[in-house]
Chain A
Amino acid sequence: MMKNNIFNKIANRSKDFYNDKLSTKEKRRPLINNTKSLGASIVKYLLLYGLAFIIIFPLLQQISIALRNPSDLNNPLVLWIPMEFSLQNVKVALIVLDYWKVLATTLILSLTVTILQLIVTSLVGYALARLKFPGSKLVFIIVIFTIIIAPTTIELPLKINFRDFLGTGTNLLGSTNILYLFAATGMGIKAGIFIYLFRQFFKGIPIELEEAALIDGANPLQVFIKVMLPNAMGAIILTSILTFVWQWNDSYYTFTYVSSIKDSFDTLTTKMMGISQNINEAIQNAGVLGLFGQDVSKNPLFTSMILNTAAILTMIPLLIIYLLVQKRLFTEGVERSGLVG
């Protein structure tokens, strides 16, 4: 009797369900749509969160490595979460990298290059967008060419040129002035792309703003500084961040023109490259091996651990800066950057 009751109930329920939601095509539609959108959002979340995890994975790994105690190396139980937290790795890596001094050099270099590049590319971008002068088409074509021509193509002639710069007898090779010179003459890291970006951006700003200022008697320089630049914050933020990051992570320009010739000059990236090629010697030179027992320092994982810690130390300043500006980057930089003309 009981059983029958339950079966009846289930039968009735399903009959109702069928009548309500499945019997005709019309009634089926909402259910199908709901399932579809549920499926779509599951796929979407899986994809986005999964990929976000793939991206962040090496970072997590590095942080986990940096925070473990070297004595945990021989402990098979420790993979992700250290048994004992310690900053000993960080201390060693700081010494190996000569961190604070190199950090200061890197910061100064990146900041100066960013400012110079920002000034030059925005000026050229504005001239191309609004100031019609004869030959502006040719200038634009050359800008596109500078994007396509790889920096290695002109490396050798440039080096010969710099050895005796413009016949003045000064040898610029090995001094950071080369990098400043590149940034100040629109030949810095991917400068062509930024000129293009600024051109697109300034074209998107309504011309009426400019005309109003011009009628009030401002000259193009004043218009540029007082009207156009405040309206171009998006492009400015984007250019500054990308130039700064690319200069920070740059090994090509810095290595070829400066630190391959002058050994004492290093940015964090070139230093990192240098020590990763012979980490053992670097650790020995830093004189920190005595701090650890034989079982730790002879472990091949030990050098790798120090390398990883050094790697995250080179990236941490960038990550902090990125976190600070990320909100502005998205709301002003990306979404209103006028990347689309």
Chain B
Amino acid sequence: MKNKTKQIKYYVGEDLHKKKTKIENTIDNLKIKYNKVEEQLNLMFDKHKDGFSKRIQRKIVKLSTNLTKLDVTIKRNIANLDKLNNGELEKLSPIENFKHWFSHVEYRKQTMIWGFIFIIPWVLGMAILFIPSVIETLFWSFSNANLTPDGMQTSFVGIENFKYLFTEYVIDGNNVFSVSLLTFIEGLIIDLPIIIIFSILIAVLLNKKFRGHTVIKAIFFVPVIYNLAVITETLTGTFGQHFAETMQGDITFVNQITGFFMQIGIGDSLLEIVLGAVDRIFTIVNLSGIQILIFVAAIQSIPNHLYEAAEIEGATKYEIFWKITIPMITPMILTAAVYTVVDSFTRSPITRFLQTSVANGNYGLAAAISISYFVINLVIVGIVFMLFKGKVFYHDEK
């Protein structure tokens, strides 16, 4: 403990005199106010002698609270005056004065003020950077925008941009916007359940102790720190192909298996989906890092007594998984699904269209792409929400 001796300053000489008149003035003012309020109150009592309606009651309560507050303030000031006369009143710096005042503010209001202080940087960001930009983009998407040295020149054209975008927009010769959008959404719809199921499975497996589980666990989160662009380059670049060619044996094996399933009559389309998923296993594993993280945390937080109770009742592992684990992690399934959707859009082919239209100086169209991008995002997230609505279970729900 530091032994801090605090120097206390008192009012003396000139200061004392000034302070004294100041306090006396405040007391006078307060007294006038007090009298006024009292008068009002008396008036009200006189007016409504035969009983009060609810509104009047409330008014009276308010006035009397005011009265009490004024009374307390006056008394405090008088006490201060006494102290001052005895030479005992502390002289506070403006900061201390503020602290003193702040500590007398109602607790509820104090937390409110702190809440506002805490979000100041964020509010600045939103107010200066985020919200104006979103509104501007929205506005441009409905207009013909041209970049000039004095800023953006716009003229309103209605939904022309969107019309052009979805019916005619083509880049690189044969890349149609609506088609690539559709392909992308199809891919997402297939990927989403695969990623979610896959990460739940892995999270469940990782959650139990097994031989080498620390190492495997560490490896499973390596995708989080992978730079996917760099890794893909490694696998598909010249050297990657060199490796792949040298280790070609597995490809004939896959062909044989596919042929076998075709012959025993499993549908083409089903096989295509499965094969597609197998082909993309590397991508899927690498996209699931965060989701696995979420589910591992979710499963860890399920109270153990639930499992114990189920075991005593004779539930099998299968039943425990479906009746306890899955319901308990539904909120996180929702979170993971939303994350997957949002994350997938950052890698979507739409980015390419956006870049091209910006490069061509067609800013209205670029804004239209951005807005449709956002709307589609919102719709898919909304659908995911609707699917889970009512099925999500919050265990702290009261």
Which A residues lie at the B interface, using CB under 8 A?
A: 41, 44-45, 47-49, 51-52, 54-56, 58-59, 61-62, 65, 79, 120, 123-124, 126-127, 130-134, 136, 139, 142, 146-154, 156-158, 160-161, 166, 181-182, 184-187, 193, 195, 219-221, 224, 242, 245, 249, 251-252, 269, 272-273, 276, 300-301, 303-305, 307-308, 311, 314-315, 318-319, 322-323, 326, 329-330, 334-341
Q: A153-B371, A341-B396 are in contact. Are A308 and B137 (CB under 8 A)?
A: no
Contact A307 B377, beta carbon cutoff 8 Å: no
Contact B137 A153, beta carbon cutoff 8 Å: yes
Partner of A153 from the list B128, B134, B151, B396 (CB cut-off 8 Å) is B134
Contact A58 B133, beta carbon cutoff 8 Å: no
Residue of B nearest to A149 (CB): B374
Partner of B121 from the list A56, A185, A338 (CB cut-off 8 Å) is A185
Contact A120 B381, beta carbon cutoff 8 Å: no
Contact B112 A147, beta carbon cutoff 8 Å: no
Contact B282 A54, beta carbon cutoff 8 Å: yes
Chain B nearest Cβ from A111, distance in angstroms = 16
Q: Which 6 A-B pairs have the closest CB atoms?
A: A185-B125, A131-B115, A133-B115, A154-B133, A304-B238, A157-B133
Q: A161-B133, A185-B121, A193-B339 are in contact. Are A335 and B296 (CB under 8 A)?
A: yes
Contact A126 B118, beta carbon cutoff 8 Å: yes
Contact with A along B125-149 (1 / 0, CB 8 A): 1101111111011001000000100
Chain A residues near B230: list those with CB within 8 A: 269, 272, 311, 314-315
Residue of B nearest to A65 (CB): B239
Contact with A along B238-279 (1 / 0, CB 8 A): 111011001000000000000000000000000000000000
Docked complex Cα distance between A130 and B147 (Å):
45
Chain A residues near B125: list those with CB within 8 A: 181-182, 184-187
Partner of B301 from the list A132, A160, A308, A340 (CB cut-off 8 Å) is A340
Residue of B nearest to A53 (CB): B219
Q: Which residues of B (287-332) have their CB < 8 Å from a CB of A?
A: 293-294, 296-298, 300-301, 329, 331-332
Interface size class of chain B, counting residues whose CB lies under 8 Å from the partner chain: 35 or more
Docked complex Cα distance between A156 and B377 (Å):
20
Contact A157 B119, beta carbon cutoff 8 Å: no
Chain A nearest Cβ from B281, distance in angstroms = 7
Which of A65, A79, A130, A304 is packed against the most chain B CB atoms within 10 Å? A304
Partner of B224 from the list A150, A185, A245, A273 (CB cut-off 8 Å) is A245
Which B residues lie at the A interface, using CB under 8 A?
A: 108, 110-112, 114-119, 121-126, 128-134, 136-137, 140, 147, 151-152, 202, 205-206, 210-212, 215-227, 229-231, 233-235, 237-240, 242-243, 246, 281-282, 285-286, 293-294, 296-298, 300-301, 329, 331-332, 335, 338-339, 342, 345-346, 351, 354, 358, 363, 366-367, 370-371, 373-374, 377-378, 381, 394, 396
Which of A132, A136, A330 is packed against the most chain B CB atoms within 10 Å? A330
Residue of A nearest to B296 (CB): A334
Q: Is the interface of B mostly helix, strand, loop or mixed?
A: helix
Contact A55 B396, beta carbon cutoff 8 Å: no
Chain B residues near A329: list those with CB within 8 A: 221
Contact B210 A156, beta carbon cutoff 8 Å: no
Contact A156 B366, beta carbon cutoff 8 Å: yes
Residue of B nearest to A339 (CB): B297
Chain B residues near A130: list those with CB within 8 A: 111
Task: Please name 8 pairs of A and B residues whose Cβ atoms are closer than 8 Å in the assembled complex, sorted by A.
Answer: A52-B220, A61-B240, A154-B134, A184-B125, A249-B225, A303-B238, A319-B225, A322-B222
Chain A residues near B227: list those with CB within 8 A: 249, 269, 272, 311, 314-315
Contact A54 B378, beta carbon cutoff 8 Å: no
Docked complex Cα distance between A249 and B367 (Å):
27
Contact A153 B229, beta carbon cutoff 8 Å: no
Residue of A nearest to B240 (CB): A61
Partner of B377 from the list A150, A184, A221, A269 (CB cut-off 8 Å) is A150
Chain B residues near A318: list those with CB within 8 A: 225
Contact A149 B134, beta carbon cutoff 8 Å: yes
Chain A nearest Cβ from B140, distance in angstroms = 8
Chain A residues near B240: list those with CB within 8 A: 61
Chain B nearest Cβ from A233, distance in angstroms = 14
Docked complex Cα distance between A330 and B211 (Å):
17
Docked complex Cα distance between A301 and B132 (Å):
50
Contact A124 B122, beta carbon cutoff 8 Å: yes
Residue of A nearest to B343 (CB): A190
Chain A residues near B206: list those with CB within 8 A: 48
Q: A142-B131, A182-B129 provided; 16 other pairs, C-beta below 8 A?
A: A51-B202, A54-B281, A56-B219, A127-B119, A131-B111, A136-B115, A156-B363, A160-B151, A185-B126, A187-B126, A195-B122, A220-B110, A269-B227, A304-B239, A339-B297, A341-B331
Contact A148 B381, beta carbon cutoff 8 Å: yes
Chain A residues near B110: list those with CB within 8 A: 219-220
Q: A300-B238, A315-B230 are in contact. Are A160 and B152 (CB under 8 A)?
A: yes
Chain B residues near A276: list those with CB within 8 A: 233
Docked complex Cα distance between A48 and B370 (Å):
40
Contact A157 B132, beta carbon cutoff 8 Å: yes
Chain B nearest Cβ from A273, distance in angstroms = 7
Chain B nearest Cβ from A115, distance in angstroms = 13
Partner of A161 from the list B129, B281, B286, B351 (CB cut-off 8 Å) is B129
Contact A307 B205, beta carbon cutoff 8 Å: no
Docked complex Cα distance between A158 and B135 (Å):
11
Residue of A nearest to B215 (CB): A52
Docked complex Cα distance between A142 and B127 (Å):
11
Chain B residues near A133: list those with CB within 8 A: 111-112, 115-116
Docked complex Cα distance between A334 and B118 (Å):
26
Chain A residues near B121: list those with CB within 8 A: 120, 123, 184-186
Chain B residues near A273: list those with CB within 8 A: 229
Chain A nearest Cβ from B203, distance in angstroms = 10
Residue of A nearest to B294 (CB): A339
Partner of B239 from the list A44, A131, A249, A308 (CB cut-off 8 Å) is A308
Partner of A51 from the list B220, B293, B332 (CB cut-off 8 Å) is B220
Chain A residues near B225: list those with CB within 8 A: 245, 249, 315, 318-319, 322
